[in-house]
Amino acid sequence: MKTQAAVLWEAGTQWSVEEVDLGDPLPGEVRVKLAASGMCHSDEHLLTGDLPAPLPIVGGHEGAGWVEAVGKGVTTVQEGDPVVLSFIPSCGRCRACSTGHQNLCELGALILSGSELAGGQRITARGQGVGTMCCLGTFSPYVVAHENSVVKVRGDIPLDKAALVGCGVTTGYGSSVYTAEVKAGDVLCVIGVGGIGMNAVQGGRIAGARYIVAIDPTPSKLDTAKRFGATHTATSIDEARAIVLDITDGHMADAAVIAIGVGEGEIIASAMGLIGKNGRLVMTSISPLMQIDAKISLLDMTLFQKQLRGSIFGSANPRHDIPRLLDLYRDGILKLDDLITKTYTLDQINEGYADMRDGRNIRGVILFD
């Protein structure tokens, strides 16, 4: 079928919204008519070249919609089902999946390959094959995806909000609750409170953190962070350090999450300075491929038994956590509505990313008809 999609042809350029050909679902695949797609910072990393994926590529990996057609052999969803797309597929059988770590499914190796899970490419434009971000490509009103990437959800959830649970919400929430293991009474710092960090803040709140310090140079983000559960705010790590010293009587924080737009090695040493003995520092930001240097006091790490942990998809299990987080939303525990700062049409995608760069959005969302 013919549809529209935002294609990146060359790093350092803009998204090009144009007509593409989308093939029918192969065995194991489904076609999803999307309600909405979030504009995560990770797609911006394709544009800057920080994330190496073969180009051209249709961007977008944070979507939700309705199953419109199913390929042969699909068993977990049927036509008309409301679904959230998971930016990491889960096969349910590999070592990671079968030990409760679906975020580390072996199929994750394909998400930056520009290929589809069933093999080959489903999209063509200007006479050539086009890949998709995370085997999805949600910057298009229609997505053909493998059922391994599709999670059925209840019908009473607004899908434009549910889209954000396909990446940002689960990643941020899980970075605090699962990777950093924030528990009742803990003190948590969140460095960078955009789409991911705001959910790390609310994850900490839901887990029962005593104090949550939100750190971001943009004042409007800090105001929003207070509504999501931050008890204190700071415009820099240095400013936050003085606050954490004071509120913990010098013990420092139990956990910190780094969710700044572009990961940088320089920040690690000062972020480690926010946590105390047995503290966990979580690196959730995506850093440029060639960023291999980090500043860190190794003596401090040893003597205070601090841990530095990476986090992909918030250490979550998408098949369990996506429906569960939507349950928390329905019960009024998890905020989704307030995450969406502004909505755009697909044609306005470059405007949406300019707003993200300028710090105007917690999350910009593309709405489809």
Ligand X SMILES: NC(=O)c1ccc[n+]([C@@H]2O[C@H](COP(=O)([O-])OP(=O)(O)OC[C@H]3O[C@@H](n4cnc5c(N)ncnc54)[C@H](O)[C@@H]3O)[C@@H](O)[C@H]2O)c1
User: Residue 2, CB half-sphere, CA atoms under 13 Å: how many?
Assistant: 3
Catalytic residue (choose from 45, 86, 90, 232) = 45
Q: Torsion angle of alpha carbons 165, 169, 173, 174, nearest 10°? A: 60
Catalytic residue (choose from 37, 40, 189, 285) = 40
Q: Is the peptide bond before 56 cis (omega within 30 degrees of 0)?
A: yes
The reply on whether position 196 binds ligand X by CB under 6 A is yes
* 18 to 47: interface string for Zn ion, x by CB under 5 A: ----------------------x-x-----
Q: Cα separations (Å) of 40 from 57, 128, 138, 177, 309?
A: 16, 26, 11, 20, 22
Q: Cα separations (Å) of 86 from 56, 62, 81, 133?
A: 22, 7, 15, 12
User: Residue 194, CB half-sphere, CA atoms under 13 Å: how many?
Assistant: 25
Choices 76-84, 140-148, 153-161, 258-266 (CB under 6 A): range interacting with ligand X: 258-266
Q: Which two tokens stand for residue 75?
A: 């068993």
Shortest spacing between CB 312 and ligand X, in angstroms: 4
The reply on whether position 311 binds ligand X by CB under 6 A is yes
With CB cut-offs between 5 and 8 Å by kind, which of ligand X, Zn ion, none does residue 105 bind? Zn ion
Choices 95-103, 243-251, 309-317, 336-344 (CB under 5 A): range interacting with Zn ion: 95-103
Enumerate the β-bridge partners of residue 2. Answer: 21
With CB cut-offs between 5 and 8 Å by kind, which of Zn ion, ligand X, none does residue 94 bind? Zn ion
Residue (of 141, 144, 148) closest to 122 by Cα position: 144
Query: Is 40 part of the annotated catalytic residue set?
Result: yes
With CB cut-offs between 5 and 8 Å by kind, which of ligand X, Zn ion, none does residue 50 bind? none
The DSSP H or E segment spanning 20 is: strand 16-22
* 113 to 152: interface string for Zn ion, x by CB under 5 A: ----------------------------------------
Conformational region of residue 151, where left means phi above 0, alpha means psi within -120 to 50, and beta covers everything else: beta
Shortest spacing between CB 167 and Zn ion, in angstroms: 3
The reply on whether position 179 binds ligand X by CB under 6 A is no
On whether the CB atoms of residues 282 and 175 are closer than 8 A, the answer is yes
The residues of the shown chain that bind ligand X, judged by CB under 6 A, are: 40-42, 45, 167-168, 171, 191-197, 215-218, 221, 259-263, 284-286, 311-313, 356, 359
List active site positions.
40, 42, 45, 61, 167
The residues of the shown chain that bind Zn ion, judged by CB under 5 A, are: 40, 42, 91, 94, 97, 105, 167
